[in-house]
Amino acid sequence: QVQLVESGGGLQQAGKSLRLSCVASGTIVSIGTMRWYRQAPGKQRELVADITSGGRTNYADSVKGRCTISRDNAKNTVYLQMNSLKPEDTAVYYCNAQQYLTNYWGQGTQVTVSS
């Protein structure tokens, strides 16, 4: 089993920045792609960004140019640097990690952006 714990969320003003972190622990053999998703009230969960074990990244159009995903494989940690925050970035942000054929989820961290 792999446990994921997110941190770094909170209340921030529009235009400011936040950095989310997600640490994986437990029975870690080889974590593959790590992803950040978000879910706003009344909306479906959507992919924000992902990063492969080799560092290849992918971003949703809504955050492209404002967010950077990175990972530290030695620390089993993935980060999401969010700049130029917008009120529409308000959501619960979830970390997802894949190990072999199993996907694991964190409990989520709330990000609220005030205008």
41: number of Cβ within 10 Å? 7
Tokens of 96: 């997802």
pLDDT score for 49: 98
For the chain, state the CA radius of gyration: 13
Distance CA 103, CA 91 (A): 21
| Residue 80 to residue 10: CA distance in whole angstroms | 14
The string of pLDDT tens digits covering residues 3-61 is 999 999 999 999 999 999 999 999 888 899 999 999 999 999 999 999 999 999 999 99
- Is residue 104 very low, low, confident or very high in pLDDT (cuts 50, 70, 90)? very high
